[in-house]
A and B are shown apart, each in its own frame.
Chain A
Amino acid sequence: MATERRFRVWRGDAKGGDFHDYTVPVEEGEVVLDVMHRLQAQQANDLAVRWNCKAGKCGSCSAEVNGHPTLMCMTRMSDFPPDDVVTVSPIRTFPVIRDLVTDVSFNYEVAKRIVPFQPRPMTEEEKEAGSYLLAQEDIDRLQEFRKCIECFLCQNVCHVIRDHEENKRNFAGPRFFIRNAELEMHPLDTADRRDQLQDEFGLGYCNITKCCTEVCPEGIHITDNGIIPLKERVVDKRYDPIAWLGRKIGFAKDQRRL
């Protein structure tokens, strides 16, 4: 029961490109990624598409469909009226390599700068049990952040870098605020990342427009549950006069759990 549907797909590379029109048969229940594959197999063998799992779990196939940043594997064709022309273009914040594939190496460079996980030593009781003893509530609390599939759609829509290439040097982006939030709230971690967050990663640039939260395919409340608590922690450390005094006279070395 295939129906012929019309598409406009951006083709090109770093030097430039434009939209090409295609008509592709679409079967029941298909997603945009299925159509890109059929197009590739039958009409345009060299159409560059990045993908892996086709089940919304790996975060590889990010693109902009009708201008809306999304995972192609989770965007069903039935969401569009049959007569509509569906436009598919690469995500905008990162440089195009070719067609729908962009250079997301910015994200991997930021990841290298994150202060790694530093676990506390085991307690005597834990040594005896042979494992860390943790409460399920502590695990549950972090699951939201750890669900992140690194599709970088949040990075793509964040206006701090979407329209300001120059900010990339000083801004980690929502994905890496979530990564930091996850480490900061990890029940075993002992490192302090608050100065780095403010000074190197530009946490202060975020003015909580929540674009990242809206686009997250995993439904992570990036701003409310991640960025805002991080901002509060930074404020507590830097601007709380009692904590400041404590640091000056050598007490309260680490208040991060307060």
Chain B
Amino acid sequence: MADIESHDYDVIVIGAGGAGLSAVVQSAAAGANTAVICKSLLGKAHTVMAEGGIAAALGNVYPEDNWKVHFRDTMRGGKMLNNWRMAQIHAQEAPERVLELETMGALFDRTRDGRVLQRDFGGHQYARLAHVGDRTGLEMIRTLQQNAVAKGVDVFMEHCVIDLLKDGEHVAGALGYRKETGQFVVWRAKAVVLATGGIGKIYKVTSNSWEYTGDGHSLALRAGADIIDMEFVQLHPTGMIWPPSVRGILVTEGVRGERGVLRNSEGRRFMFDYIPEYFAGDYADSEEEADKWYTQRTETGARRPPELLPRDEVARAIAAEVEAGRGSPHGGVFLDIASRRTPEEIKRALPSMYHQFKELAGVDITKEPMEVGPTCHYVMGGVRTEPDTTESSVPGLFAAGEVAGGMHGANRLGGNSLSDLLVFGHRAGRYAAEHALGLERAPHIDDAEVERLTALAVEPFERDEGENPFELHAELQDTMQDNVGLIRNEEDMKKGLEKIKELQERARRVRVIGNRQYNPGWSEALDLRNLLTAAEMVALSALARRESRGAHTRRDYPETDNEHFGKVNHVLRLKDGEIQLNEEPLPQMPEELRQLFEEKR
């Protein structure tokens, strides 16, 4: 393999967002020789876009908050389909991880007595999100990035992974290429952490960047790992919708946490009409009560405003208002903070939202409402892991963050992602290092397999004619948007699946022009395989779940079916080159946790 550069590590981490960098820092701290591989430059991963904050029951604003309440909110938000053990670990360890971040150099906004300030967010009973203005993700990624650099970890920036390599049943490393030169690289490793984020680029309207092509989900599937719950794709209720070029860009839930409200074209706060039975009793039924909640909830017992329902509920409500003809001029609804807070308060609490609307849409959010609508934001499904160690069903392969499944069930609460990245990134790093350092010998790399994969990867250059990879991607995005979107039904999804199959066929004939050096056409061609696999997993799982739950809404099965579907996960595995779907029983929580849902709050 003369043409291939190779490296040896104890642990490689694929992805350099919050989860990946947390894993890197912990793995290096545990004494493992660690490298991180990322598709972009260091510090550009999608975590920088996270705005609102990190959910952690620190109890700094409401001392009555604790991990049990956070656990309960998370499970209820996920419509009880969450892996209970992951949700428990997450709620218990998030406070420690937030405080640890400050010892690494991060700074969060403060309470009057100097502790970490916490902000209200949807589905959280108490103000719980540690934040710094509305750029919490940037604070987090810089802090972790600088710590990783200080630890002397090797960083392979702008390197893409093509496939994982195995030695028998055990993971053996990864094959990828350096974008700058097109050079193939093999990383041999005793443990691999997947921290590749999500799949948002299978949709047309998305808050996700180009990197979100479902790489980790597909790499893991091809390596033989179990993937669960792929039908649950979160649409964030508030994305920008106008002008067209910014469609999908995220508008933080922090706007609503800071008292912003949703209005329809008649100026009505319509969310009061959409409080579901499941959450009845937890939410205010008048504007007066809702407004008291922000500042006087303890004294008055006011319940929270329905704008702060979990994201799935709010996204559906917005879609329903638009469908009923009460939308905004460009097909969304209005998000109004201008009439609720002073310009100074808005600029202070939401500086990057102010900047984003001013620069990209010419809208001054201190004076006028924003136009917003649902945008694909997050996939709850992903690699099935052992909750305590984050190890997948493939020995030596770990997964943390968005690429892992189970933690968020059918719907993720805002703020629970950054905490997920910290908690499980930390664990992945620790346990991957432990696994690697405990192995007696380094895994063996199968040279023939590497040669087969590299030959396959360069095939698109050898064709004189063929499909345009960008065009295939655009067709996939249209298909998923139209057929496997917010509101689903069997007929559309079957049509979607057929189209995905057709695109998979055409993707085999894709053609790339130019050479291998920093060639986005080639990257797109290689990403296509992962995008199509991720899309197929979403469509297959969604078709099989004949009920509505959390982010998965079926027009043909509008009811939630607790008797059957409430008790099963959809597990995907590759068998003879085909994706197989199985129903498997949902892990049941122990009695003492179950009681949390029966006690009166």
Chain A residues within 8 Å of B, Cβ to Cβ: 13, 27-31, 34, 40-42, 45-60, 74, 76, 97-99, 101, 103-104, 108, 111-112, 114, 116-117, 119, 129-136, 138-139, 142-143, 146-147, 149-150, 183, 186-189
Complex contact B245–A31 (CB within 8 A): yes
CA distance A45 to B60 in the complex (A): 52
CA distance A45 to B520 in the complex (A): 7
Instruction: Given contact pairs A28-B243, A47-B520, A108-B42, enumerate 18 new A-B contacts (beta carbons under 8 Å).
Output: A41-B468, A45-B520, A46-B514, A48-B520, A53-B48, A54-B249, A57-B135, A58-B40, A97-B180, A111-B149, A112-B149, A116-B146, A129-B114, A136-B110, A139-B109, A147-B138, A150-B43, A183-B105
CA distance A119 to B150 in the complex (A): 14
B4-58, CB < 8 A from A: 40-46, 48-49, 58
Q: Which 10 A-B pairs have the closest CB atoms?
A: A29-B243, A46-B514, A45-B521, A133-B114, A117-B105, A41-B470, A116-B150, A98-B518, A30-B245, A48-B518
Complex contact B115–A139 (CB within 8 A): no
| Residue B157, interface by CB 8 Å | yes
Complex contact A48–B44 (CB within 8 A): no
CA distance A150 to B521 in the complex (A): 26
Residue in B closest to A125 when the chains form the complex, CB atoms: B114
Complex contact A29–B244 (CB within 8 A): yes
User: A46 is contacted by which of B104, B117, B520 (Cβ under 8 Å)?
Assistant: B520
Residues of A contacting B242 in the complex (Cβ-Cβ under 8 angstroms): 29
B453-474 contact mask (Cβ, 8 Å, vs A): 1 or 0 = 0000000000000001111001
CA distance A41 to B471 in the complex (A): 7
| Residue B559, interface by CB 8 Å | no
User: B110 is contacted by which of A139, A150, A183 (Cβ under 8 Å)?
Assistant: A139
CA distance A30 to B360 in the complex (A): 9
Q: A52-B210, A130-B99, A133-B114 are in contact. Are A27 and B48 (CB under 8 A)?
A: no
Q: A46-B521, A55-B49, A56-B355 are in contact. Are A135 and B110 (CB under 8 A)?
A: yes
Complex contact A143–B133 (CB within 8 A): yes
Closest CB in chain A relative to B100 CB, distance in Å: 10
Residues of A contacting B359 in the complex (Cβ-Cβ under 8 angstroms): 56, 74
Residue in A closest to B180 when the chains form the complex, CB atoms: A97
Q: A116-B146, A146-B142 are in contact. Are A101 and B44 (CB under 8 A)?
A: no
CA distance A190 to B361 in the complex (A): 43
Complex contact A139–B132 (CB within 8 A): yes
Residues of B contacting A132 in the complex (Cβ-Cβ under 8 angstroms): 102-103, 114
Complex contact B468–A55 (CB within 8 A): no
| Residue B339, interface by CB 8 Å | no
CA distance A146 to B471 in the complex (A): 39
Complex contact A103–B105 (CB within 8 A): no
Complex contact A119–B470 (CB within 8 A): no
| Residue B356, interface by CB 8 Å | yes
17 A-B contact pairs sorted by A residue (CB < 8 Å): A29-B361, A42-B470, A45-B469, A52-B40, A56-B359, A57-B135, A58-B43, A58-B44, A58-B49, A98-B518, A114-B146, A116-B147, A116-B150, A131-B60, A131-B115, A136-B110, A139-B108
Complex contact B44–A52 (CB within 8 A): yes
| Residue B139, interface by CB 8 Å | yes
| Residue B328, interface by CB 8 Å | no
Complex contact A74–B360 (CB within 8 A): yes
CA distance A104 to B43 in the complex (A): 13
User: A49 is contacted by which of B360, B513, B520 (Cβ under 8 Å)?
Assistant: B520
Residues of A contacting B103 in the complex (Cβ-Cβ under 8 angstroms): 119, 132
Residue in A closest to B519 when the chains form the complex, CB atoms: A46
CA distance A135 to B99 in the complex (A): 16
Complex contact B517–A97 (CB within 8 A): yes
Residues of A contacting B109 in the complex (Cβ-Cβ under 8 angstroms): 136, 139
CA distance A37 to B38 in the complex (A): 22
Residues of B contacting A189 in the complex (Cβ-Cβ under 8 angstroms): 105
CA distance A221 to B77 in the complex (A): 42
Closest CB in chain B relative to A8 CB, distance in Å: 19
| Residue B481, interface by CB 8 Å | no
Closest CB in chain A relative to B354 CB, distance in Å: 12
User: A135 is contacted by which of B114, B245, B352 (Cβ under 8 Å)?
Assistant: B114
CA distance A83 to B361 in the complex (A): 23
B320-337 contact mask (Cβ, 8 Å, vs A): 1 or 0 = 000000000000000000
Residues of B contacting A146 in the complex (Cβ-Cβ under 8 angstroms): 107, 132, 138-139, 142
Complex contact A45–B113 (CB within 8 A): no
CA distance A51 to B211 in the complex (A): 10
Closest CB in chain B relative to A103 CB, distance in Å: 7
Residues of B contacting A46 in the complex (Cβ-Cβ under 8 angstroms): 512-515, 519-522
Residues of B contacting A130 in the complex (Cβ-Cβ under 8 angstroms): 99
User: A133 is contacted by which of B108, B115, B244 (Cβ under 8 Å)?
Assistant: B115
Residue in A closest to B514 when the chains form the complex, CB atoms: A46
Closest CB in chain A relative to B258 CB, distance in Å: 16
Complex contact A30–B138 (CB within 8 A): no
CA distance A28 to B114 in the complex (A): 47
| Residue B376, interface by CB 8 Å | no
Residues of A contacting B352 in the complex (Cβ-Cβ under 8 angstroms): 57
Complex contact B355–A59 (CB within 8 A): no
Closest CB in chain A relative to B519 CB, distance in Å: 5
Residues of B contacting A60 in the complex (Cβ-Cβ under 8 angstroms): 40-41, 44
User: B244 is contacted by which of A27, A52, A114, A150 (Cβ under 8 Å)?
Assistant: A27
Residues of B contacting A27 in the complex (Cβ-Cβ under 8 angstroms): 243-245
Q: A58-B44, A112-B149 are in contact. Are A52 and B246 (CB under 8 A)?
A: no
CA distance A28 to B362 in the complex (A): 13
CA distance A25 to B85 in the complex (A): 52
B509-551, CB < 8 A from A: 512-515, 517-522, 524
B331-359, CB < 8 A from A: 352, 355-356, 359
User: B105 is contacted by which of A57, A99, A133, A186 (Cβ under 8 Å)?
Assistant: A186
Residues of A contacting B249 in the complex (Cβ-Cβ under 8 angstroms): 54-55
Closest CB in chain A relative to B481 CB, distance in Å: 17
Interface centre among B46, B99, B355, B361 (most CB of A within 10 A): B355
Residues of A contacting B246 in the complex (Cβ-Cβ under 8 angstroms): 29, 54-55
CA distance A48 to B442 in the complex (A): 37
Complex contact B513–A45 (CB within 8 A): yes
Complex contact A57–B99 (CB within 8 A): no
B226-240, CB < 8 A from A: none
Complex contact B132–A143 (CB within 8 A): yes
CA distance A55 to B210 in the complex (A): 13
Residues of A contacting B150 in the complex (Cβ-Cβ under 8 angstroms): 116-117
